[in-house]
Structures are given as structure tokens and as C-alpha cells.
Chains A and B, each alone.
Chain A
């Protein structure tokens, strides 16, 4: 089983990202589970969402304490929240920032990947909403889920033009991470 923790701020679509990831992984043939951290949702406040992926039925209902992957939608959270807390040494943290991994005040033995997801979102979607971009980056960096399934989940959730733009952004982020 792989466990994923998504950090963001209220309004950045962290819970939606978790749900889309669960839907995409299911399409790829896995069992999946996505749930919010059950905090009170307020715009701008730090929020968490969790995802579990497995080839067997998922029965565990606790929060995720030792994730294999962490996705950080907003690098300003690094100073506010222990985003790498419990992250497995052989795991990976993917951060939305225009800084290099070495320039971030992070303490972890896990792999650190960065991507300027806000820039990609602005360029392709036209709005600084980076949750689907981060999913594309996750697919590329982890290989746990296919970009195609993420794009299908995104198109299904946001029908029409919005979904198409988001799907393009997913592919853009995926290509950037796989190419780097």
C-alpha cells in the first residue's frame, strides 16, 4: 500500500486533488481511498488530504502518519507546517515552488522534487489553481498512476473547456517532470 499526504491552503483544491487521484488510480486498476483531514475548511488556512493506493481492499481508516509521498501545493506552508513529518526515508516530497530543492528549509532524507506549478497553471489554465498540475507532476515523478487516468478524472469532474485546459496542464506538468 502507498500512502500520500497532500498539503495546501483552503481554496487550493487539495481535497479535490485527493479525490481525483483516487478516481484515477481506480481506473488504473487499483483500490483507492481519499479523505480530508476533517479540519474546519477556511480559505487560506492550512489543510491536509490523504490518499491510499493498494492492490488489495483498503480497510485502514486512520489518518496517514508515515506517507510514501507528500504533495505540497504552497511552499509557504513549509514554515508553518511540518510538511515532511513522518515521510519515509525512501519516499518523495513534491513541492510547488520556483526555488531549487536545495534552497528549501526542509529536513528529510526523502527525495525532494520541485515544480513551478503555479506558473504552469497560469500559462495553461489562466488561473493560479495548481491542484491538477500537481497531480500531473505526481504521476510523472512517482509512476504510481498514469497521466491518462488523471486527465480522464479531471475531464469528468470539470466538463467542457475548463476540464480540457486542466488536462493540458496535467500533461504539461507530467512531461516537464519526466523530461527533467
Chain B
């Protein structure tokens, strides 16, 4: 595997595909600490650097905290930066995650989504990135390996836009997407170079023209800085849309803007999800549609910024919305996506029942039959109203009673 990058359309591992996409973006500085299931991504990238096939500086560090700290410095100095992590690694970065967004430093970081300890579990859910949802990072979730590749390139365009200047997490499901082998169109260097211009930082660290990043501010100024981050987040909405559109013109592939919808126009039941589960839901929707069940699918592509208006528009004609959350906001009894969807509909003139399903935590598999049971519950809600607002799906009751 030394000396040459793969090219064209072929079957590769999801981790290789994202490493390849990152390579095509020509990052100046990469820093990461290996952790399952992110390991293959950074192994492949460090191999590319060692083989001299990409011209990036790879900084080896002793922890995730240091990895992201290194990128804060590099990004402030004007470098295009990349990292990847998961779960406990992301948690260890937490302090720097907020710092990087607050300093308005663009970067792209792949989150190979995994559950949080304790108990220790290396498999997929979305708890790790959901815990960083208030940090000021844009969060994009992907459905399959091709979308992962394409979104990684779009993420740099969004992050480095001077109107945004914020870091982006591209979230992929651990193992389900990181360790799958499937056909992928690997991107061509020339095409990516045409799509993604070199990084032109808004402001750089320069000894000739000294500046400070992330300095102390007193109550006189702090709140205003936070407001500016929120404004940048808000401006990123149209930039995410623009990036998706211009990517489509250049490469012919489109995955929706902040959301994507499938069979929602006349749907009475709308399933909402993020990540690889969306693929399974597409199959279920097709199967149930062929049997006359009016079901549709709403995929959340951008969780931050949160697509409240788009969700309201897509669900306005539905009779029930089922939110499938691969996370649990402990103390609320439901997943965070469910809570936010209810909040975004509350002050509108839309009155549609929203029910939540906490599903697939710690890698618990989500078979088609489980999704079909959820749709049956939704049919009950249409007939009889909400009886259970949120529940854990496929719980082993014998273990917890």
C-alpha cells in the first residue's frame, strides 16, 4: 500500500475512503491520536504522509487534547488542518473543541461516532458528538461512504468561508461506515483542486503583525463574542446549501442541504434519523410504500446549525413524526434530536404529534423488523393519540426490571 493512492471507482474500506478524501483536500497539518474505531483513518493518513504521497505535516501527540491543541496553533498560523477522533477521545478534547470554535478557527474533524463510557463499549451511537452540540462546531452526519467522502470536501469549503470561519465535524457511524467495504468513487485531485480553493485565513498569527487569539475578556465583551459565533453559525446555513449545490455541479452528486427528504410529500408518518440508519430506513419506506403505508423519511444532514425551518416545512402535512435517536439526553427521557424537533415546532402553527425512539445505543443492531414495529406504533398514534412520548427500543426488559 506504499507509494501510491488508489483512484477511480472501486471497493474500499470506509476509513480508507475518508483518508483519501482528506488527502485530496491537501491539509497542511494533521494531528490525531488513534482510538477505535477511528484507528484505520489515521493509520491510512500517516501512511500517506510516510510514503510521501501527500505533502502534509503529521504531528504525533500523546493525547487527543494535544492533537486538537496542535491544530488550534496550526490553524491560527493559517494552515488547513485535519483531525479524527471518537468517543472518549472527543471527550478528552472537549475544552479545546469549545476554544477552537470560539477563536473562529476553521478545521475539519471526522468523528467516527461511538458510545460513551461507562460501561466501556467501542460500538456505534451518536452520544459522543451530541455531547459537543453546543460547542460552536458545525456538525454534518452522513449516510454512506460516498456521502462521507463528498461531505468531507464540502466541509472545508464551508469551514473556510470567511462568512463562517468555524470548525466542522463530519460524523460517520463507527464500524458500520468506518469498517464497511463498498463501492466508492474516489475523488480526483484535479477536480478537488478546482472545487476547493487554497485556504485564505481571515486573520493569521504573524510575528511581524502580532495579534492574540482567544484572549481574556470581561463581562463587558464576552456575551457579544458568543453572539458573533451564533451569527456565523446562522450564516453557515446558506453556505452548507451552496457547498452541496456547487459539489453537485462539479461531481454530479447531491445529498440534500441541511436536510434530505424521501417520500415525504404525501406522507402521514415521517421517520427522522441521522447517519447510516437512514439507508435502512429508505429500504423500509420503499417496502411499506409498496404495501400502501403512507410513510416518508426525513434525514438530518446538518444537526448544527439545526434545520428547524426545513423540518417544520417537511413535517407540516404529516400526522405523526417519529424521531429515531442514537443518543439519550439523560434526565429528559428522550434523545436530543427529538427534543429539538419538538422545540422547533412549538411556536409554529404546525401541530403534529412527535414521538421519540432511543435506538441502537452502543452498537445494538437495528433490524428492519424493529423499524416496522416503530411504524406500527406511529399508526396507533394516528388512531388513538400519544400514549408513550418516548421509549427505549429493543430494551432487554429481563435485564432491567
A residues at B contact (CB < 8 Å): 18-19, 22-23, 26, 31-36, 38, 40, 58-63, 65
* B183 adjacent to A62 (CB under 8 Å): no
Known interface pairs A22-B182, A23-B181, A62-B368; A36-B175 also in contact (CB < 8 Å): yes
Q: Shortest Cβ distance from B230 into chain A, in angstroms?
A: 34
Task: List residues of chain A with CB within 8 A of the CB of B122.
Answer: 40
Which of B56-64, B82-90, B279-287 contacts the other chain?
Answer: B279-287
Known interface pairs A22-B182, A35-B180; A63-B367 also in contact (CB < 8 Å): yes
B179 at the interface (CB under 8 A from A): yes
* B276 adjacent to A61 (CB under 8 Å): yes
How many contacting A-B pairs (Cβ < 8 A)?
A: 64
Task: List residues of chain B with CB within 8 A of the CB of A35.
Answer: 175-176, 179-181
Task: Specify the chain B residue showing the minimal Cβ separation from A15.
Answer: B179
* A62 adjacent to B181 (CB under 8 Å): no
A-B contact pairs, 13 of them (CB 8 A): A22-B182, A23-B10, A26-B10, A31-B182, A32-B183, A33-B182, A34-B181, A35-B179, A60-B368, A61-B173, A61-B276, A62-B280, A62-B368
Q: Shortest Cβ distance from A58 into chain B, in angstroms?
A: 7
Task: List residues of chain B with CB within 8 A of the CB of A62.
Answer: 280, 365-368
Q: What's the dominant secondary structure at chain B's contact region?
A: mixed
Q: Shortest Cβ distance from B5 into chain A, in angstroms?
A: 15
Q: What separation, in Å, do the CA atoms of A65 and B368 have in the docked complex?
A: 10
Known interface pairs A22-B11, A60-B280, A62-B280; A38-B363 also in contact (CB < 8 Å): yes
* A34 adjacent to B180 (CB under 8 Å): yes
* A58 adjacent to B280 (CB under 8 Å): no
Q: What separation, in Å, do the CA atoms of A12 and B368 have in the docked complex?
A: 30
Task: Specify the chain B residue showing the minimal Cβ separation from A63.
Answer: B365
Task: Specify the chain A residue showing the minimal Cβ separation from B367.
Answer: A62
**Candidates B123, B173, B180, B183; contact of A26 at CB < 8 Å:** B183
* A33 adjacent to B180 (CB under 8 Å): yes
**Candidates B123, B182, B276, B282; contact of A32 at CB < 8 Å:** B182
Give residues of chain B (364-388) contacting chain A, Cβ–Cβ below 8 Å.
365-368
Q: Shortest Cβ distance from A50 into chain B, in angstroms?
A: 10
* B182 adjacent to A60 (CB under 8 Å): no
Q: What separation, in Å, do the CA atoms of A40 and B121 have in the docked complex?
A: 10
* B277 adjacent to A32 (CB under 8 Å): no
13 additional A-B residue pairs with CB within 8 Å, beyond A61-B176, A61-B277, A62-B280:
A19-B13, A22-B181, A23-B10, A26-B183, A31-B183, A34-B11, A35-B181, A38-B363, A59-B280, A60-B283, A62-B367, A62-B368, A65-B367
Task: Specify the chain A residue showing the minimal Cβ separation from B279.
Answer: A59
Q: What separation, in Å, do the CA atoms of A135 and B366 have in the docked complex?
A: 28
* A60 adjacent to B175 (CB under 8 Å): no
* A38 adjacent to B144 (CB under 8 Å): no
Q: What separation, in Å, do the CA atoms of A22 and B182 have in the docked complex?
A: 7
Task: List residues of chain B with CB within 8 A of the CB of A61.
Answer: 173, 176, 276-277, 279-280, 366
Task: List residues of chain B with CB within 8 A of the CB of A40.
Answer: 122
Task: List residues of chain A with CB within 8 A of the CB of B144.
Answer: 59
* B11 adjacent to A23 (CB under 8 Å): yes
Task: List residues of chain A with CB within 8 A of the CB of B13.
Answer: 19
8 closest A-B pairs by CB: A59-B279, A34-B181, A35-B180, A26-B11, A23-B11, A61-B276, A22-B181, A62-B367
Q: Shortest Cβ distance from A3 into chain B, in angstroms?
A: 12
Task: Specify the chain A residue showing the minimal Cβ separation from B14.
Answer: A35
Give residues of chain B (327-377) contacting chain A, Cβ–Cβ below 8 Å.
363, 365-368
Known interface pairs A26-B11, A62-B365; A36-B179 also in contact (CB < 8 Å): yes
Task: List residues of chain B with CB within 8 A of the CB of A65.
Answer: 367
Q: What separation, in Å, do the CA atoms of A36 and B279 have in the docked complex?
A: 18
Known interface pairs A59-B279, A59-B280; A33-B181 also in contact (CB < 8 Å): yes
* A19 adjacent to B181 (CB under 8 Å): yes
